[in-house]
Amino acid sequence: MGRTTATRAADDADQDVLQDALRAVPLGGAIVIDREWVRSRSLVVDRPVRIRFTEEGRIRMVTTATAVVVTASGVEIDDADIRGVGSESGGEGHGIAVMGDRLAPLRGVVVRGGRFRDLPHDGVHLEYCDHFRVTGTTMDRVGYAGVLGVGVVDGVIDRNRVSDVRQPRGRVNSYGIALTRDATATPDVTRRSARVRVVDNHVSGVPAWEGIDTHAGEGIEIRGNVVTACRVGIAAVPSKDPDDRTQTSVAPIDLVIADNVVTRGPGLPAGSGILVSGAGTTVGSTRPRATGRVIGNVVTGYGGGGEAGILVKLTRGMVLDGNRVRSSADNAICLVHSNAAAVARNNSVRGVSGTRVGVNIRAGANDGSIHHNAFAVTQPALAVAVRFGDPDNRFHVSDNDWGNARVDLARGGAVVTS
């Protein structure tokens, strides 16, 4: 394998020495970046190569351009140190952007290790990439997302640390890690992100929006992550309807949200620790429902303002199993509306303030079962362990430990069997 070491000054008015050095690397070869390169334009990687940064190697951007743009399959980037012009700049530049095409996705791109900071938009941004991996990176002070995937398939995002996602003025959302799709067309044209594992990451400090997110993902596994100080911890939500942007039309399906530790920080707006929603807005909507499992998570400090520790709506066959919900405001677990064949079992609830409801079946068009849940003895006691707020609900409720709740079961006119 060939190897080139880039050591000279770069990015002057007449030439781009670093880009020229990369062009000289043979296919499958490697280039070592062992000093700081101050750049105003993107380094374009258009062939399968390996780029390795040494401890002294760095790319420092002086414009809002993306630092490294990958347009080829089989690229590996190790231990990158990329610094941008600032997360508050409002620019569109990323640390590394992997840019496949919907008709010709890239394959086998790996970003391994490295430090990304002060970037206008995303740390690592991927579009239409298959069999990829982003692992072991550290990202701090980014404007929109740490890792963002659009139409990505069969990948792994693991052991990354993302902190301090700023969401500057003019942006309506921000993420630690997000997997989404281009919602300007239907999924047969612009595909879902699918079969991506998001595991063992640490996301902190997304105060305005969401720690980990998927919009309309399929087979997304979000497991074993630590999420702290985010307005919403983990969200699986639908994507917009391309014909009516006020509506949603593609639901997340076959989700696994498991074994995560989600903790709200002080002073944040109301939000849910884990949020799952299918498409549509109205009670009983016939639009596609979200499906999957929320299992074994520990959620602390969320709720208030209509939110909950765990909140689900517009789902089918959703399973909430073995979660521990602590120190919630108003609701520990909330099935808002339109949850068909929902199962809430083996969950434990401790410490709910405000209206103090353990499991709140808030509105109508819900059915399923609630069993073997434990509502801990606390002071003050829960006002209601399980509450039905609308008669248009049908549930089997059995074998729960009600603790010292003042009311075990508030039926609200719903059909409840035991």
Per-residue model confidence as pLDDT tens digits over 306-350 = 999 999 999 999 999 999 999 999 999 999 999 999 999 999 999
Average pLDDT over residues 156-168: 96
**Is 317 in contact with 294 (CB distance < 8 Å)?**
no
3 confidence band (pLDDT: 50, 70, 90): low
In this structure, how many other beta carbons lie within 10 angstroms of the beta carbon of residue 129? Answer: 24
Residue range 40-70, pLDDT digits in tens: 999 999 999 999 999 999 999 999 999 999 9
pLDDT at 1 exceeding the cut of 50: no
Q: How many residues does the chain have?
A: 418
Average pLDDT over residues 358-374: 98
**Is 329 in contact with 354 (CB distance < 8 Å)?**
yes
> Quick one: what percent of the chain has pLDDT higher than 90?
94
pLDDT at 11 exceeding the cut of 60: no
Average pLDDT over residues 26-51: 97
Residue range 79-99, pLDDT digits in tens: 999 999 999 988 999 999 999
Q: What is the pLDDT of residue 357?
A: 98
pLDDT at 10 exceeding the cut of 60: no
**Is 121 in contact with 98 (CB distance < 8 Å)?**
no
Amino acid in position 251? A
**Is 138 in contact with 115 (CB distance < 8 Å)?**
yes
* CA-based nearest residue to 320, from 258, 367, 231, 236: 258
Q: Which residue has the higher pLDDT, 10 or 282?
A: 282
Structure-block tokens of residue 347: 């969950």
Q: What is the pLDDT of residue 13?
A: 42
131 confidence band (pLDDT: 50, 70, 90): very high
Across all residues in the chain, what is the average pLDDT? 95
pLDDT at 12 exceeding the cut of 80: no
**Is 303 in contact with 333 (CB distance < 8 Å)?**
no
Among 14-28, 117-131, 183-197, 221-235, the least confident range: 14-28
Report the C-alpha gap between 176 and 157 in whole angstroms.
Answer: 12
Average pLDDT over residues 344-369: 98
Burial of 341 from C-beta contacts in 10 A (0-12 / 13-18 / 19+): middle
**Is 128 in contact with 98 (CB distance < 8 Å)?**
no
- Strands (E) located in 201-318: 202-215, 221-223, 226-237, 239-241, 244-250, 255-258, 261-263, 274-277, 292-295, 298-300, 310-313, 315-316
Q: Residues 6 or more apart from 120 whose CB is under 8 A from it?
A: 64, 84, 85, 86, 87, 89, 90, 91, 92, 93, 94, 143, 144
Amino acid in position 355? T
> Quick one: what percent of the chain has pLDDT higher than 70?
96
The residue written with tokens 């630092």 in the block is 67
This prediction has a pTM of: 0.96
Q: Residues 6 or more apart from 49 whose CB is under 8 A from it?
A: 22, 25, 27, 28, 29, 30, 31, 75, 76
**Is 274 in contact with 294 (CB distance < 8 Å)?**
yes
Q: What is the pLDDT of residue 9?
A: 44
Q: Which residue has the higher pLDDT, 13 or 154?
A: 154
pLDDT at 7 exceeding the cut of 50: no
SS3 376: coil
Report the C-alpha gap between 180 and 152 in whole angstroms.
Answer: 8
DSSP 62: S
Q: What is the pLDDT of residue 14?
A: 53
SS3 23: helix
Q: What is the pLDDT of residue 169?
A: 85
Q: What is the pLDDT of residue 170?
A: 85
Residue range 230-281, pLDDT digits in tens: 999 999 999 999 999 899 999 999 999 999 999 999 999 999 999 999 999 9
pLDDT at 381 exceeding the cut of 70: yes
Q: Residues 6 or more apart from 172 whose CB is under 8 A from it?
A: none
Residue range 74-84, pLDDT digits in tens: 999 999 999 99
pLDDT at 8 exceeding the cut of 80: no
* CA-based nearest residue to 207, from 235, 229, 176: 229
* CA-based nearest residue to 335, from 382, 288, 287, 274: 274
**Is 215 in contact with 252 (CB distance < 8 Å)?**
yes
**416 DSSP β-pair partners:** 395
